[in-house]
Amino acid sequence: AQKITQTQPGMFVQEKEAVTLDCTYDTSDPSYGLFWYKQPSSGEMIFLIYQGSYDQQNATEGRYSLNFQKARKSANLVISASQLGDSAMYFCAMREPLTGANNLFFGTGTRLTVIP
């Protein structure tokens, strides 16, 4: 089974509107961590936001917030007040520390296009 699933290959949003990018995950590690990254056309990976499995509140970082629904195993990224510079690929990723491997597993990504 896929560890991280992103079902939206592409999304469009009007400038200044909010958009939700979906992410579901599958793990048996109770101490998992969830991450969102932005990858512009330049190829760099920009860390946006983190949610720990034991965190009681949804993570927020500026215009980014994470809608964490633990029972549904979903961690959707919400971008408010979209800007043209938000156009990029967005990747959801997970870490499973109890496996002993500290790397990230990535989803297939969602390409977001912000329309002026």
Partner 1 sequence: SAVISQKPSRDICQRGTSLTIQCQVDSQVTMMFWYRQQPGQSLTLIATANQGSEATYESGFVIDKFPISRPNLTFSTLTVSNMSPEDSSIYLCSVDPPLLQGANRDYGYTFGSGTRLTVV
Binding range to partner 1, per CB under 8 A, among 18-26, 62-70, 78-86, 98-106:
98-106
Residues 21-60 that bind partner 1 (CB under 8 A): 33, 35, 37, 42-45, 47, 50, 52
Number of residues located near partner 1, criterion CB under 8 A = 20
* Residue 81 or 101 with smaller CB distance to partner 1: 101
* Residue 86 or 107 with smaller CB distance to partner 1: 107
Token reading at 41: 């056309």
Q: What is the CA radius of gyration of the chain?
A: 14
Sign of the alpha-carbon dihedral angle for 14, 18, 24, 29: positive
Which amino acid is located at 71 in the chain?
A
12 binds partner 1 (CB under 8 A): no
Report the alpha-carbon angle 80-17-58, nearest 5: 25
Neighbours of 26 (CB within 10 A): 13
Using CB under 8 A, list all residues that contact partner 1: 33, 35, 37, 42-45, 47, 50, 52, 91, 101-109
